[in-house]
Every structure is written in C-alpha cells, then in structure tokens.
Amino acid sequence: MKDTTTKHPTYFVDIDGTLIKYRSFQEIGITKPKAIKSVLEKINTEFDKGAHIVVTSARPEALRRETIEELFHIGLRYHQLVLGIGRSTRYLVNDIDPEQPEIPRAVAINLIRNNGGIELF
C-alpha cells in the first residue's frame, strides 16, 4: 500500500559559518552571534512548512547551554541539536525508494563559509 501522507524533508544544518558567522569556540558565550540571515530565513520558512530541522555542530557538549541561547537569540526554529560531530567531511547516506527512484532521498549543499547563498535550495 502506497503511503499517502504528506512527507516533509529533513534539513541537517551546521551552525558556525552556515547559520551564524564563524567564530572560534573560545569566542562563544563572550561575543554575540551574528546570524547569516538568508540561511536563517530559509530554515525558518522550511520549519513553518513542516520540515524537520536538525542543527549540527562540532561544538563540544560543554557549549550546549551557550549554543541553545545563541539559537534562541537569532530566532532559529528547530527540532534537534546534535553537538560534538567531527569537523572533517560529513556524509549523508540514505536509501532510494524503489517505487520512486527518480526522487533523490539524500542531497548535500555546500555553502561558502559566512556567505549564505541559500538560493541553491
């Protein structure tokens, strides 16, 4: 039986250099975050449309409280926050629906640090 419910995308969104202008970990909690507005607006729009937003960062768990405060400060709406992921290349691995192989189930978008460029998606 075919699933007829509305399917919403999931966005995995990095923080530093993608949602907020890049700063060193030592600056977090000391300096105010500067949102990258085009990305922030796009992610909030997708949240409002029903997308699931997972915010990711290499920031350590020790910065969770400060990170949550920063995301609140910039007005980001999200569902989950995953900290402590590696700073190296990140891979998204997913399956292909055999009934709809033409629809990509995994997409990756690389943005220039601190530049936004959200029109790509």
pLDDT digits (tens, 9 = 90+) for 15-71: 999 999 999 999 998 999 999 999 999 999 999 999 999 999 999 999 999 999 999
Domain range summary for the chain, segments of one domain joined by +: 10-87+103-120
Mean pLDDT of the chain: 90
All residues at 6 or more sequence positions from 20 whose CB lies less than 8 Å from its CB, including other chains: 33, 34, 35, 36, 70, 74
Q: What's the pTM value of the predicted model, to 2 decimals? A: 0.87
Q: How confident is the model at residue 118 (pLDDT cuts 50, 70, 90)?
A: low
Would you say residue 2 has pLDDT above 50?
Answer: no
Q: Which CATH architecture has domain 10-87+103-120?
A: 3-Layer(aba) Sandwich (3.40)
- Where is pLDDT greater, at 19 or 3? 19
